[in-house]
Structure formats: C-alpha cells, structure tokens
A and B are shown apart, each in its own frame.
Chain A
Amino acid sequence: MGALLNQRFMTLAVLAVVIAVLPLVFPSSYYFRVASLVWVSALAAIGLNILMGQAGQVSLGHAAFFGIGAYAVAIGPTHLGIPPWAAILVGAVLSAVLAYLVGRPILRLKGHYLAIATLGLGVLIALVISTESGWTGGPDGMPVERLTLFGWRVSGSNTWYWVTGALLLIGTWIALNLDETPTGRAFRALHDSEVAAQVVGVDVARFKLQAFVIAAVYASIAGSALAFMNGFINPDQAGFLHSVELVTIVVLGGLGSIVGSIVGAAVLVTLPQALTIFHEYEHLLLGLIIIVSMIFMRNGIVPSLSGLFLRRARS
C-alpha cells in the first residue's frame, strides 16, 4: 500500500516538476502554446483512458464532448450572457447529462457495435454544431470571449501554459485517485470479465455509465480550456477526426496507463508540429510513425517501455 501511495505521489511530483521546468528551456511563446495544447489533449485523453483503458469501453465519438465544452464557453457568454467561468461548468454539466442519457442504451452495445454507435453520436453532435450557424457560426467557427476570473483577465500563451498545466495536474490526480477505489476496481474488473464482475455484485451498466460520464466531463473541460486559450473555436474540434486523434493518443500512449495518455498526447501533438519542416511529407511520416510504433509497441509506448526496463532490471 505504501508503495502504491508512493507511485501515485511520484507520478504527480514528476509531472509537476516537468510542467515547472519546461518553461526554462522554451525559447519562444510558440513553445508555450504547443505545450499547452499537449496539456489540454492529455487531459481529454486521460478521461477517455478511464473509459477505454480502465473500463474497457471504446468511444469513437469523444470529441463531441470536447466540442460541447468548447462551444459552451463560446456560446454562453456571447449569446446568453453567462459569465465565462460559469460557462465551463455549464458545458461540463451538459456533457455529463448527455453522456448519462445516451450512455445507458449505447453502453449495452459491445465491441464494434459500441464503436459505431459512439461514432454516430459524435457525428450527430458535430453536425448540429456545424449546421446551427446562428448559434455556432457554422463551419467557420466563432470567436470566444476571454476568460475573466475575479477580475483577472486570463490571456497570453504563458498564462495559459500554467492554467492548462494545473488542470492536467488536477485531472491526473483525480484519475490516479480513482484507480485504487471500489469504483476503479469495478471498472477494471468489468473490463477483464463482465460476467465475473456481475456475479460478485458489480452493477456493470451503472459503472460503464459512470466511466462514460467521467470521460465526458474530462473532455468537456479540456474543450473549454482550448476554446479560451485559442480565443476561437470551429466544428473540427468536435469532429470525427479529432475523436480518432484522442483514441490514437490513448492507445499509442498505452491503454490503462495514465502517464501513457500524457506521453501519447505529447507525441501526437508535437509530432505534426515537428513534422511541418518536412512540408508535404508531414502526413506520410505521421502515418508511418503511428504504424511502426503500434507494431513494435503494441501495448502502447509507456507499458511497452516500462516492461522493457523491468526485464532489463531483472536480468
């Protein structure tokens, strides 16, 4: 138990140190921006990892909740006069309620059927966002008012680096907390054997739904953060390709590994930025890197590498 506590503490400490130290080596505000993008994507991915890696339920439409969070902070203050900070909560609650309502019928599905149903849900929400242009600005997107907290106007790449970094720390802390509780164990149990979980009394439907709602709230808050940070939002953030990107981050980093989701986000967000120097070869290389790393690290980067180190250490 002590060892487990330490591992949790160490993970958080290392993450905090990385967030604190990185700015010392950043040569320009561009780096702050990219790093903030990593933190935001990691936050959404950690939530999705609770659903996919812990509870074993796939979602191919998760960007929809990201979009709801993003558009809540865009639409709320602009059209409804909701204070920007409150709009974050409105988005999170909306996402949670929606996940709760559609989760029950959707999560009865298994495997590829679950994949297509969540995909369909995501496509539907993205469609509503890009079609109802009176509210959302349509495919062109819409501007987002600056976030003001107690009179403090949150703006600038450096500020948002710290805000998103703090959000990621909190998200990581909560996810690590959850792992070692009856709820976290129920998630992992139903992932390994639904029927065995049921016969010891785990209400499988209820826990799948909880994981789905948690993942939706993570994505929603990440979406709100990104919208504020960019000061602008468009429907791509809610679209299928962004859903696929989130799933890829989770799987690439390692299903079930919270650190993996952060590493996966770091790789998948910085890689396209780094690959822009290859101009038109960017997508070719990105695809190639995804294929090669999944072949050679099929359990994801973090579990594969830590497995390798453990074996080294033992021999």
Chain B
Amino acid sequence: MTILTATDIGISFGGVKAVDGVGFSVSPGQILSIIGPNGAGKTTLFNIVSGIYAASRGTIHLADEDVTGLSPHDLAARGLSRTFQNLQIFQRMTACENVMVGRHLREKCSLLPALFRTPSVTRQNRETRAAALDLLASVGLKDAADVPAGSLPYGACKRLEIARALAAEPRVLLLDEPAAGCNAVETEEIDHLIRQVADRGVAVVLVEHDMKLVMKISDRILVLERGRPLAEGTPREVRDDPKVVEAYLGQHGAREAARA
C-alpha cells in the first residue's frame, strides 16, 4: 500500500528540462532516498511534490487522492510536510515558536477569540507550547526553546526544521539534506530520529548526500541524473549498479572502482 505516488513528473526552466519523467512511490513506515549528483533535480522534484512549483507534466497522488497542482498549505492539510535544503526557519521567532507554527493545522485559529484572548486561546497556547517543547527535546534542542532561531548554529537549525515539520504530525515527510553541515555525532542523531519517525508509520522521502547515512537507513533508493531516473532499488542493488557508479565517479572512476 503506497501513500505518496508521483508519476512521470516533468518541469523545465527556460528550456532546460530540470526534471524529466521521474516517478516514485512510498509506503507508510518506509524510507525512500533520492540521490544523484548536484543538479540532478532532487530539490526541484521536492518542490514539485510539495506544491511549490507547478509541474508541466505528471501527476501526484496522496492517499489515493489526485493532489496535482494543489497549493503547499492544502498539501500540508492532507498530511505532507517537508524541510528545506537552504534553511527556511522563522529567524525572528524563538525555536519554540518555530515548532509552534508547525502545529498550525492542529490549532483552532479563529480571529475574534485571538483578538480578545479568550481563556480557550490561552489554554490552547499552553498545550501547543508543551507539544512543541516535547518535539524540541526529541531533536535535542530543549535548552534552546526560547532562543531566537536566527541565532542558532546551522546544525541546530536543521534539526529545528525537522521538529517543525514533525509538529504537523505528517503522514509523509520530505527531508531535503537533513544531515548537511552536521558533524558525525549530529548525523548519528538524525539517523536515529528518521528511523524513529518511520517506525511510527510515517512515509519518509529523503534527499541526502551523506552516502553512509543513505545506505544505512533507506529501504529503497531512487537515483537521478540530469533530471532523469537512472536506477531504483534496494541500497545493495543501487550500490552495485555500474550505471550509478559511473554517474557518480565518471567512466574513469567507474573502471577504477571495478578494479578495486
């Protein structure tokens, strides 16, 4: 049973086909990694799937519903959440408030009670803050709760984005290079976190350059090259695929790798 299926996705920017005929599907609890050299179209694919770019062709289904062309917030309401490669945190808000915004869809948000701060608003605020603090703790940021997010170090921001995405209680989570810029210990923590999330039944789609991480936690891997699918399979199948080795290392490198 799949929850997210993208079929034959294509988009071009000024005549360049950034993504061309890519498809994938992922089931609850599964971790699918999308890898490929820089410029392969991984982030663009994420931007299409999360509704930020409109694809010029192809369809996206989320839990048997055709969600092609829906706006990001409509997709979020249907259980899709994501992080960004180049951090998109709310700089002027505290770490805790960032995660609280992640709870947006779980909150009642009517204007009049907000203007007059009825007791129900105060109560909800307290609940949301408690939930946000729990999530911050789960990514190791409990102590940073009331620090302005703009002053957090890079690795902490990465984890903050994951916490914010999780706050929405998504069914599908797209992670764009969550381990980029993290040291070995932090990468290890993120590894655990992703596994945990998947074990709770969330479908995880991961774009990542850290091959050790990818090979370790992925159930399946999709390899892209210049916007086109190159290979797909289990980590072992992909690792042994000569086409993949060549794409990453070039022909010369591939010969060297084969000899080694």
Contacts and interface: CB of A to CB of B under 8 A. Distances in A.
Contact of A177 (B90, B97, B116): B116
Given A193-B88, A196-B84, A200-B104, A1 B129 contact: yes
B100 interface: yes
B109 interface: yes
A182 B89 contact: no
B89 A177 contact: no
Contacts of A182: 104, 107-109, 114, 124, 128
B52 interface: yes
A180 B125 contact: yes
A184 B93 CA distance: 11
B117 A183 contact: no
A199 interface: yes
Describe A's contact surface by its main secondary structure: helix
B163 to A, nearest CB: 11
A237 to B, nearest CB: 26
Interface string B54-78: 0000000000000000011101110
B129 A201 contact: no
B33 interface: no
A203 interface: yes
A258 interface: no
Interface in B75-101: 75-77, 80-82, 84, 88-93, 97, 100-101
A202 interface: yes
B71 A200 contact: no
B115 A200 contact: no
Given A186-B101, A188-B93, A201 B73 contact: yes
A174 B118 CA distance: 11
Contacts of A181: 109, 114, 117, 121, 125
Interface string A169-189: 000001001101111111011
A167 to B, nearest CB: 15
Nearest to B110: A183
B114 A200 contact: no
Nearest to A204: B73
B114 A183 contact: yes
Interface string A197-241: 111111110000010000000000000000000000000000000
Interface stretch (B2-10, B134-142, B164-172, B220-228): B164-172
A200 B89 contact: no
A210 B109 CA distance: 12
Given A200-B76, A201-B76, A183 B84 contact: no
B213 interface: no
Contacts of A177: 114-117
A204 B76 CA distance: 13
Contacts of B80: 199
B126 A200 contact: no
B101 A200 contact: yes
B260 interface: no
B111 A210 contact: yes
B108 A192 contact: no
27 contacts: A1-B129, A174-B115, A178-B115, A181-B117, A182-B108, A182-B114, A182-B124, A185-B104, A188-B92, A188-B93, A188-B97, A189-B90, A189-B93, A189-B101, A193-B89, A195-B84, A195-B88, A197-B101, A199-B82, A199-B165, A200-B101, A200-B102, A201-B73, A201-B76, A201-B104, A202-B104, A203-B73
Interface of B: 50-52, 71-73, 75-77, 80-82, 84, 88-93, 97, 100-102, 104-105, 107-109, 111, 114-117, 121, 124-126, 128-129, 164-165, 167-168
Given A192-B90, A195-B72, A199-B50, 19 more contacts: A174-B116, A180-B117, A180-B125, A181-B121, A182-B124, A185-B101, A186-B101, A189-B90, A189-B101, A191-B92, A198-B51, A199-B52, A199-B80, A199-B81, A200-B105, A201-B73, A201-B77, A204-B73, A210-B111
